[in-house]
Chains A and B, each alone.
Chain A
Amino acid sequence: MTREELAECYDRYSGAVYRTAFACCRNRADAEDIMQETFLRRLTSDRTFPEEELEKAWLLRVAANLSADHLRRMRRRSLLPLEEAELVCELPQESTVFQAVMALPPDYRLAVHLFYYEGYSIAEIAGIMRKTNAAAAAVLSRARKRLKRMLGEEMEL
C-alpha cells in the first residue's frame, strides 16, 4: 500500500476504527493506540479488497481483535474507568444512554456499537467479532435485555 493509499484509507475509515476501538477500550488513549496499530496492519498487509465495505469490515475486525488483546492484558491490571471528559454529551439522555452502553461487558458493547452505530447485520458482526452467528445473536439479545434493565422501559431499542 502506498502512502497516498494509506492516507485515503485513513481519511475514510479512521473515525469508524477509532469509535469501534473506543467502544471496546472506553478511553481515548487506548483507542488511538489501537487505531494506529490497525492502520499499521493495513499498511503491512498485502490484502486487496474488491469492495470498500470489505476493507472497512477487515479494519474493524482487526481493531476488535487488537482491543480484545488489550483488554486481556488490562485484566491483569485494573480497568480504566470511562472518562467522562472524553465525551461530548449535549443532552442528559445522551450521557445516560452512552454511559449505559459503556457499562456493558466488552463483547456486549462492541456488538451494540457494530449493530446500532455501524449498521452491520448479525452475520457481519459475527465475522468481525470472530464468533459464530449464534453467539453474536445471543450477545446482542443479552445486551439489549441488559440495557432495558439498566435504563427502564422508557428506553426504546
Chain B
Amino acid sequence: MNMDDYRRVADRMEPSEQCRIEVLNMKNTKITHKTNRKLVPLMIAAALAVCGGGTIIAADQLGAFDKLSSVQENTYKDERYIPKWDENNYAEIAKYIDTLETAAEPTESTSGTASAEPNVIVDTESVYCDGRTVMIGISGSYVHGNRNRINGLGFTSRFIINGKTYTETDAWDEDCGFYRMESSTVQDEDSYDNFSGVVTIMLADENIITEPTTIELELFNIRRGRGGTTSASYFPDVVKLSIPVTPQPELRNVCNLRIEEDGFAAAIYEISPAGIIVGSQFPDSYYRRFIDEHGCEITQCDVGNVWYDENGEPLEGLYYTSTPDYGDGNGDRMIIYSYTDTSAMTIKWFDITTDEVLHEYTFTLTE
C-alpha cells in the first residue's frame, strides 16, 4: 500500500466532456455555476502514475550548467514576499552561472544506460563539489524518441554517497540527510532525442563529503512530461552512473553567524557558489493553534521573512528545509540559491497579512 494507489485513482479522474464544451463557449464574462451537474461515467486510464520531484524545463539548447539559469527563471515563487525573478535579468543569472562554472570541474566521462526499450543513455559532463553540494552536469539521449511535442525528460534521482542512500522523493523528510535535491533537464531545440541538465544534492552537516569518493547516481521513474498524468510516458529502467568526485572545501565559507533578539533568531551558516544557507525563527506567540472542522489540530502562522543584500535588494530564497534538531535555536533553514558577494545581509520578519515589519537585523559579512 503506497501513494501509487492514490495516483492510480487520481489518474482515472477526468472532467466531463460537457465541461470542455462549456469552457470553450465561455465569453469574457462570469459563467453561471451549476450545482446539480449530472454525473457522467468517468474515463478510466490505464497509464501508470509515478511521482517524482524532477523539474522539467523546455529551453534552447544550452550547456549543462547553463540549465541552472532556466531553473532560476522558472522556479515558482510567492510573489507576496519575494519579487518575481526577472526573467530577462541575464546579467544576474550569468553571474551565478559563471560562478558555478568556474568552480565546476570536468569529470571523467561516465555513461549509464537504461537497457530496456526505449533506452536512455546519460553521460556526465562536469561536476561541482564543495563537499556539501554536488552538482552533476549531464547530457544524454533516448532512442526511439517520440517526435511529437514534449515537455522534456523528467526523472527521480537517488544518490549513494559513502554508503548512504538519498532519494529525491524524501526531500521533505526531516531525517532524509540532505537539504536539497533536484534535477532539471532541457530538450535540445534541434533534436528531440537529446537533452541535458543538472542534478543537484546539498547534503546535511553530518553527511558532508570530506575525502575523494565515487558517487553512485541513479535516475529512475524516467518519463516524458511531468507529474502523474496519463499523458506522461515512462521508461521502464534505471540509469546508473558512477561519478568520481574530489571535494573542494575551500569553496565553502562557513560563517556560523547567529543572533537572537526578542524571540526572533537568525543565522547565516554558510556561503558558497551553490547558495547561502541561512536560518530563522520567530517567537512562538505568532503561531495560532486551533481545531478545524475535522477535529484536527492545525498550526498556522502569518509570519514570513525575507533576506536582503547590502543594497536592500531581496535575495532569492527558493528552497526550504527543516532541521529542528540542529540544537542552536535556529531550527528552520533556508537555502538561497543566488550567489552573492554582498558585504551585509539583512533579515526582515513580516506579518504576511499586513506587511508590517515585525523585526529586522543586519549581519555584516567580513572576509
Binding site for B on A (CB under 8 A): 3, 6-7, 10-11, 14-16, 18-19, 22-23, 28-29, 31-33, 35-37, 39-40, 43-44, 50-54, 57, 75, 79, 85-91, 93-98, 101, 103-105, 107, 112-113, 115-124, 126-128, 130-138, 140-141, 144, 146, 151, 154-157
What 0/1 pattern do residues 131 to 174 of B give for CB contact below 8 A with A? Answer: 00000000000000000000100100000000000000001111
The 9 A-B residue pairs whose C-beta atoms are closest, nearest first, are A133-B320, A127-B76, A97-B5, A156-B2, A88-B12, A118-B227, A18-B15, A94-B5, A98-B9
Residues from chain A with a CB closer than 8 A to the CB of B321 are 137
Tell whether A105 pairs with B298 under 8 Å between CB atoms, given A123-B319, A123-B320, A132-B304.
yes
What 0/1 pattern do residues 326 to 345 of B give for CB contact below 8 A with A? Answer: 00000010100000000000
Contact (Cβ within 8 A) B28 A16: no
By DSSP majority rule, is chain A's interface helix, strand, loop, or mixed?
helix
Q: Is B299 located at the chain interface by the 8 A CB criterion?
A: yes
Q: Is B72 located at the chain interface by the 8 A CB criterion?
A: no
Contact (Cβ within 8 A) B51 A119: yes
Contact (Cβ within 8 A) A103 B294: yes
- Nearest A residue to B174 by beta-carbon distance? A141
Q: Can you list 15 A-B contacts with CB-CB less than 8 angstroms, sorted by A residue number?
A: A10-B20, A18-B19, A22-B13, A53-B57, A94-B8, A97-B9, A115-B172, A116-B3, A117-B6, A122-B172, A122-B320, A123-B76, A134-B320, A136-B320, A156-B2
Tell whether A86 pairs with B230 under 8 Å between CB atoms, given A124-B75, A130-B78, A132-B81.
no
Q: Is B37 located at the chain interface by the 8 A CB criterion?
A: yes
A18-B19, A93-B1 given. 7 additional CB < 8 A pairs?
Answer: A14-B20, A50-B73, A50-B87, A95-B9, A105-B292, A123-B77, A137-B321
Contact (Cβ within 8 A) A121 B174: no
- Nearest A residue to B23 by beta-carbon distance? A39
Tell me how far the C-beta of B20 lies from the nearest C-beta in chain A, rounded to whole angstroms: 6
Contact (Cβ within 8 A) A132 B78: yes
Contact (Cβ within 8 A) B8 A90: yes
- Nearest A residue to B1 by beta-carbon distance? A93
Residues from chain B with a CB closer than 8 A to the CB of A39 are 23, 26
Binding site for A on B (CB under 8 A): 1-3, 5-10, 12-16, 19-20, 22-24, 26, 28, 30-31, 33-37, 39, 42, 44, 49, 51-59, 73-78, 80-81, 87, 151, 154, 171-174, 182, 226-230, 292-294, 296, 298-301, 304, 317-322, 332, 334, 352
Contact (Cβ within 8 A) B23 A28: no
Looking at the complex, which one of B228, B301, B319 makes contact with A135 (CB distance below 8 Å)?
A: B301
Tell whether A7 pairs with B24 under 8 Å between CB atoms, given A33-B34, A86-B39.
yes
Contact (Cβ within 8 A) A51 B320: no
Tell whether A134 pairs with B322 under 8 Å between CB atoms, given A40-B26, A51-B74, A103-B294.
yes
Contact (Cβ within 8 A) B2 A119: no
Residues from chain B with a CB closer than 8 A to the CB of A95 are 9
Q: How far is the CA of A23 from the CA of B49 in the complex (A)?
A: 16
Contact (Cβ within 8 A) A89 B9: yes
Residues from chain A with a CB closer than 8 A to the CB of B42 are 86-88
Tell whether A36 pairs with B3 under 8 Å between CB atoms, given A18-B14, A54-B74, A130-B78.
no
Q: How far is the CA of A98 from the CA of B78 in the complex (A)?
A: 29
- Nearest B residue to A154 by beta-carbon distance? B1
Contact (Cβ within 8 A) A119 B26: no
Residues from chain B with a CB closer than 8 A to the CB of A91 are 5, 8
Q: How far is the CA of A128 from the CA of B7 in the complex (A)?
A: 20
Q: How far is the CA of A111 from the CA of B75 in the complex (A)?
A: 17
Contact (Cβ within 8 A) B227 A119: yes
